[in-house]
Chain A
Amino acid sequence: MAGMELLSDQGFRTDGRKPNELRRIRFKKGVFKQADGSAYLEQGNTKVLAAVYGPHEIRGGKGKALHDQLLINCQYSMATFSTQDRKRRPRGDRKSLEMTAHLKQTFNAVILTELYPKVQLDIYVEVLQSDGGNYCASVNAATLALIDAGIPMKDYVIACSGSYIRDTPVVDINNLEESSAGAEIIMAILPRCEQIVFIEMNSRLHEDHLSPVMDQVMTGCKDIFNILNQQVRDELCKKSAQDRIVDSG
């Protein structure tokens, strides 16, 4: 019998997770000193670095500037060592360009762009290791980097993927599930107001199954949000406590 059993009869996925369980998420904000904001995020074996520069004056042709809002410049790239086979072009290929466009679109929707007319913001995302859910990890890392940089946003923007395996919606799929299962649904949402910022599906899925998967992904996003938000707040509290000591001392 060829192929992997992606979801066993006992309800476990190949890596031991249940359908509704996320991979382990770990992150660190402020990993670079030179950038205005940065973050490193792991979702399972997918590892991503994000850095934010700006807002600053428009670089290159002034003509690109938008008179009423912020210009967001994104760059998505994958390290040559990020995949199983060594990658030839870290950026500029079709996939990366598409991903760049998607990221730009996503962040245009959440950053309060009208506060910064005629200036530019750079978001650089580098995938260090890829094991499925690159877009999701990139969005989550970039969100943290933006928070680190202090850019005003409507809300967190959290992305998560999902699929439909053996009549069960599964969440946060890894590379194996991505490549062998049917449709993959990727969603980026604003978790607190439950608005969908971005949604993508890359193969056919019967319409009856769409809403269960979307619900599951939505729950996944909120779970991720809780994890990120908790740690961000904890760190902030610790920081402000330290600052107070410094101020008083």
Chain B
Amino acid sequence: MLTSKVFIKKTRLGGVMKIVREHYLRDDISCGSLACTEDCEPMDKEPLEENPISDSKLVPEPHYLVPDTNVVLHQIDILEDPSVKNVIILQTVLDEIRHRSAPVYKRVKDILGNSQKHFYTYCNEFNMHTYVERKPGESANDRNDRAIRQAVAWYAKHLNKGGVQVVLLSNDADNRKKAVAENLIAYTIHDYVRSLSNLSLIDLLANPLNQSTLDGTNKVLFAEHLGLVEIQKGIRSGKYLQGTLLISRENYLEANVSVKDRDHMVFVQGLHSLNRAVNDDIVAIEMLPESEWSCPSSLVLTEDNGKDDEDEENRALLDNESLIKNKVPKELRQPTGRVVGIIKRNWRQYCGILQPSILKERTRHLFVPAEKRIPKIRIDTRQAETLASKRIIVAIDSWPRNSRYPLGHFVRCLGGVGDKDTENEVLLLEHDVPHSNFSEAVLSFLPKMPWTISEDDLKRRRDLRHLDICSVDPPGCTDIDDALHCRPLKNGNFEVGVHIADVSHFIRPGNALDQEAANRGTTVYLTDKRIDMVPDLLSSNLCSLRSGVNRFAFSVLWEITPAADIISTDFTKSIIDSKASLTYAEAQLKIDDPNSNDSLTQSLRGLNTLAKILKKKRLDNGALSLASTEVRFHVDSETNDPIDVQTKVLRDTNSMVEEFMLLANIAVAEKILNEFPDNALLRRHPPPPATNFDPLIKAAASKGFKIDVTSGKGLADSLDRAVVPENPYFNTMLRIVTTRCMMQAVYFCSGMLQPADYLHYGLATPIYTHFTSPIRRYSDIIAHRLLAVSIGADASYSELLDKTKIQSLCNNLNYRHKMAQYAGRASVNLHTHLFFKTRIQDEEGHVLFVRKNALQVLISKYGLEGTVFLNDDNQKSSSLFVYDEEMNTQSAGDVTIHVFDPVIVQLSIDRSNVQHMKLSLKLVRPVIPGFSVPSVNELSTKGTTPAPASGPVKKKRKV
């Protein structure tokens, strides 16, 4: 099999080394084509079709495509299009892509994995017929081009009898010329795509880099970027700094660069200084002399609409520059720098809309991204008219020096603006939530239906089907992952069990299903949609602990005294048969109903009594009970538009379930940490730094309360004391403010931190993990696996024991959780907007914060927070209000507004910006002449038809 051997010499940067590696050339590599007439090594399934259909006018014969590296790198959107099939990706090309762009590499690999696309990787470097040795004096690129041509020539000869042509796609004129000289078929991707009958592909073409330089007349707007070598040299010598560019949310001309090993961010201001860097890029910056340092201007600048002419662009550029070139007082100056080069672009695809163009027939258009921190993008499209009111996705290709805006190309259309599905899609894309359907590979790991319990399963699991187990969840919940039971024991104690869906039984480590779930990290709940972490069959059926069916569970069983002291804890895999799936309300009714005395109700009562004692103990221990508002939209069943909003009601039973989930989580955390001190997946909530509490202390002081923030216990106690009888909502609001002061709770791997840092501040427990919701959280699956190994119920695997792997998993989970949270909030916002689209309404609210130029108002009915701007441009009333920093009040005339004061505000939608519709709040009461607006007649607008349909149930508890 081994035919020949050659040496490759490589030198690496930084110390020249001669590296000698063996390189075996083989003759047993298959061409991967069904049309093959030679005796190639047979494969399981040749990916390339025997009769590739093509409608290209340039190549009417059936043919395969061989793109070169640059074509794949820049035109990946074309290759991803479903109509492009039968492509050979050469190993040379794949290796080069791997070095040059990780995201493109990932996308190519995804295409290669899709059997519908008929893509094939040909290992030309290992084949004795297609391997070429680098000639003396030949550059690496030239060698690779030659290798590609050699492979194409081999294929052409190889498939000659099979009647299939091979077409080289390359935008390098020199390469094409040489290929034609060798009697190969070669075209540019642009020519090839234009010759296809599928015209929509043309829009997907990325702009070639040199297109706009052809104009010649354009003057250069930006300084040239430095080369990578120069940058590296500069960074080593300290002349330049490396960091990630973060554009300010308020002003698109300002950015901060977070530089490694430095406490302070470096400030970058102005288009020229930013020098074509886009948000998230890794850039090299040079510090400016101190005399040129600047500070963020308080201006809120967004790119102005409408101007599309090139001339105007340039003027706007200068105008904006002059706006911010004002003298800055010395004490405000911040370290300021300018971008000299880009180390790594972090461009992704952006959602947004097309800016209406003055000339309808123009093909060059400006695209406005939804994300304010991304510049507008210039694209070429012929479909401008159809795309006018659509949400579209665009990718950036390049940003030449003479262009005000980056150049990009159209990727796909999501749907109409304001359409709910489209807006949901935008929301998911912008928050990086993986939401595509589960792939074939993932689904192939699902258990085959009908699913039955085997003898073997029965032997391995404890049979708990005789117990009166029930689940308590919000109404309409289909992914039930926990169930409970409680029964008295002979010695007067209780046996309490928490039964969690045994998801890890179905999701085996390492397979595609597991990888997909690990990547998704969590189920995302939008107001009207649920994006599952695991396929529906598992989440709503096999894993869901529904009543009346046998289900696998992972059970935690305690023996608890009537005083709620835990005597023993036991973990076991089990089979359960839930007797009832109750809602919180139903469970509450059962407990409260004196006539009901069946064993299930007894069980619930027992749980409820124990939960109350447990809760008291926990709160005495210093656990915080914080408030946040959650709302639920009632949705019209036909139009799916929200018609009413209500905040969630909390019952005893909510807290009952919560209490036992906490208990189970803590018990599991202790157990797995004990067994795996190095690699247990835990959750911690760091105590917030004291300065975080300043707004809280200030706010409480305004009503004469003192808040003790030195410890969790002190905080909890002082919050309990802060009650104003005449304003029952005061305490809740104080708790909402407290929530804002908190840090984020995060997952971590125990081996990475000191045990003292494991603390969960909010729950006041030294150690915590997530165990109780494996259907919707991946962290819980890991906790399940760890626990299963520690009780000997399952085998371990290497990734589970590797603390760096667990930590990197945690990092992904934390990111996904944060994004899921943001997406959820954005979804509520979206629905609020839809809700108020047709109405203007007066609502009662409370002032949450008093700011220099605004009031932040919380509308308790909708759990909604909005801002009342006090210096509205139109009303010219900025002078009306006087801000008192000391007392934290705003006063106008004889009216003074304190924090937590009740106000009445008018809600409506501000449509001045199509992309970012804003909820606008106007003050109604207290009446301030010249500022407040008259109240609307509510009765005429308020439509309160009861709503039948409602969205998916959000299962999130505070635990």
Contact = CB atoms under 8 A, between A and B. Distances in A.
B798 interface: yes
A211 interface: no
B121 A176 contact: no
Interface stretch (A13-21, A58-66, A141-149): A13-21
B192 interface: no
Interface of B: 1-2, 5, 17-26, 91, 98-99, 102, 105, 109, 112, 121, 123, 125-126, 510, 795-798, 801
B797 A208 contact: yes
Given A9-B112, A10-B123, A206 B20 contact: no
Given A9-B121, A24-B2, A24-B5, A45 B798 contact: no
- Most A CB contacts (10 A, CB to CB) among B2, B5, B17, B798 go to B798
Nearest to B17: A84
B123 A206 contact: no
Q: Is the interface of B mostly helix, strand, loop or mixed?
A: mixed
- Most B CB contacts (10 A, CB to CB) among A1, A84, A174, A205 go to A1
A12 interface: yes
B126 A16 contact: yes
11 contacts: A9-B112, A10-B121, A14-B21, A15-B22, A16-B24, A16-B25, A21-B1, A45-B22, A84-B18, A167-B510, A206-B801
A56 interface: no
A16 B121 CA distance: 14
B948 to A, nearest CB: 51
Contact of A15 (B17, B21, B510, B796): B21
Contact of A1 (B25, B99, B121): B99
A17 B795 contact: no
A55 to B, nearest CB: 38
A21 B2 contact: yes
Contact of B22 (A44, A84, A204, A208): A44
B19 A23 contact: no
Given A5-B98, A12-B123, A174 B22 contact: yes
Interface in A187-241: 204-206, 208-209
B123 A1 contact: no
Contact of B105 (A1, A10, A15, A21): A1
A1 B17 contact: no
Contact of B20 (A23, A45, A204): A45
A167 B91 CA distance: 22
A180 interface: no
B188 to A, nearest CB: 28
Contacts of A12: 123, 126
A8 interface: yes
A214 to B, nearest CB: 16
Interface string A149-186: 00000000000000000010000001010000000000
Given A10-B123, A24-B5, A206 B798 contact: yes
A126 interface: no
Nearest to A3: B98
A23 B1 CA distance: 11
Contacts of A5: 98
- Most B CB contacts (10 A, CB to CB) among A5, A16, A45, A209 go to A16
Contacts of A131: 20, 22
- Most B CB contacts (10 A, CB to CB) among A12, A167, A204 go to A12
B22 A1 contact: no
A1 B104 CA distance: 11
Contacts of B21: 14-15, 45, 174, 176
Contact of B24 (A15, A84, A167, A176): A15
Contacts of B121: 9-10
A15 B795 contact: no
Contacts of B25: 16
A45 B9 CA distance: 13
A17 B20 CA distance: 16
Contacts of B798: 204-206, 208-209
A45 B18 CA distance: 14
B19 A16 contact: no
Given A24-B2, A208-B797, A17 B24 contact: yes
A177 to B, nearest CB: 11
Nearest to B24: A16
Interface string A37-50: 00000001100000
A82 to B, nearest CB: 12
A48 B796 CA distance: 41
A17 B29 CA distance: 12
A174 B23 CA distance: 12
Contacts of A1: 98-99, 102, 105
